[in-house]
Amino acid sequence: MRALCEGDHVTLEVVHRTRFQYSRAVALSHNELRMSPVDTGLQKVLQHSISLQPDVEIFSHRDHFGNLVHHFNILEPHDALEIIARSRVQTTNAVSCGPESSPDPRPYDQRLVEYLCWSPGIPPLAEYESVPPGQKIDMAMDEIEFGHCLYELGHYFFKTFRYDPDVTHVHSSPKDLFLHGGGVCQDMAHAMIGVLRNAGIPARYVSGYIFDPAGEEIGEHLRGSAATHAWVQAWHDGHGWIGIDPTNDKLVDWQYVRTALGRDYFDVQPLRGLFSGQTEQQLDVSVHVSIVTAPE
């Protein structure tokens, strides 16, 4: 594949498999999925399907943030649950496309207030003040300066904190990243959003997938490609929402497929559910992202 120019399109295919195996049969299983890409200014959904085993009817709705949510119930006893989400998405080699929402005369600090306030996964912390680039970024910057400063902030997290899946868990606070000096994409995204909100920059949490070029021997390995990935979007009046991935030290481009966004991880969980039964469960998850078509 040749080097891409700005605005070039690439078609990516995503296969996301999730399997629960239970030691004893369970029943009354209720589940919500946020595994479905949506159309945005930078991506177009060409195909999408979700298959279940056991095979039950799937319903859908849009949540408060515009994410496509699928939900289903399994009432009969079952000893396994398998979910396969398949997507084909055309992405764009660009880091922003300007504002995506309808014109709104209110200033950004009113219309984007939920992305300026603290949230369950991103509480106020004194540690945010310890991040030097976070003290420089400002909404008064022009587009170029803002983009450079945002990249510098992402680079700070990349070089300062190690990628370490063994020191945090899904309910960890950003404080744990600062305490242990490491974490995963969720932790780095939460902490970076905290720094941005502390500086008065609207910032939101994005969940989705990332194409790893090392898998097709056309580039360097990217962390987080074997599962759902997380990154940050920051608002600037000139850029609109611009994505930054502190886990991989890069601005978000054609390699990313967005499935859900919100204030933090707890708004965008790919799978949320409960069931009735006393059992042990084994979870296996795999994500594979491949190129279908690209500019020659």
Digit-by-digit pLDDT tens for the chain (296 residues) are 667 888 899 999 999 999 999 999 999 999 999 999 999 989 999 999 999 999 999 999 999 999 999 999 999 999 999 999 999 999 999 888 665 556 677 888 888 999 999 999 999 999 999 999 888 999 999 989 999 999 999 999 999 999 999 999 999 999 999 999 999 999 999 999 999 999 999 999 999 999 998 766 566 688 888 889 999 999 998 888 999 999 999 999 999 999 999 999 999 999 999 998 888 999 999 999 999 988 86
CATH class, 9-91+271-293 region:
mainly beta
CA distances from 124 to 63, 129, 174 (A): 26, 11, 10
Residue count of the chain:
296
Residue 128 phi, psi dihedral angles, 5° rounding:
-60, -30
The pLDDT, as a whole number, for residue 103 is 64
Residue 140 phi, psi dihedral angles, 5° rounding:
-80, -10
| Integer Cα distance of 260 and 268 in angstroms | 6
The pLDDT, as a whole number, for residue 216 is 62
| Strand 182-183 to 162-163 pairing | parallel
Q: Would you give the DSSP letter of residue 279?
A: -
The pLDDT, as a whole number, for residue 215 is 64
**Mean pLDDT of all residues in the chain?**
92
CB 232 within 8 A of CB 245: yes
Task: Convert the pLDDT of each residue in 64-108 to its tens digit.
Answer: 999 999 999 999 999 999 999 999 999 999 888 665 556 677 888
User: Which candidate, 230, 242, 240, 237, places its Cα nearest to that of 151?
Assistant: 242
The pLDDT, as a whole number, for residue 66 is 93
Task: Convert the pLDDT of each residue in 22-51 to its tens digit.
Answer: 999 999 999 999 999 999 989 999 999 999
SS3 219: coil
The pLDDT, as a whole number, for residue 184 is 96
| Integer Cα distance of 280 and 136 in angstroms | 49
Torsion of CA 154, 160, 166, 172, to 10 degrees: -60
The pLDDT, as a whole number, for residue 100 is 58
The pLDDT, as a whole number, for residue 218 is 63
The pLDDT, as a whole number, for residue 207 is 97
The pLDDT, as a whole number, for residue 99 is 57
Tally: H helices and E strands in the chain: 4, 14
Per domain, the residue ranges of the chain are: 9-91+271-293, 95-267
- As a CATH number, domain 95-267 is 3.10.620.30
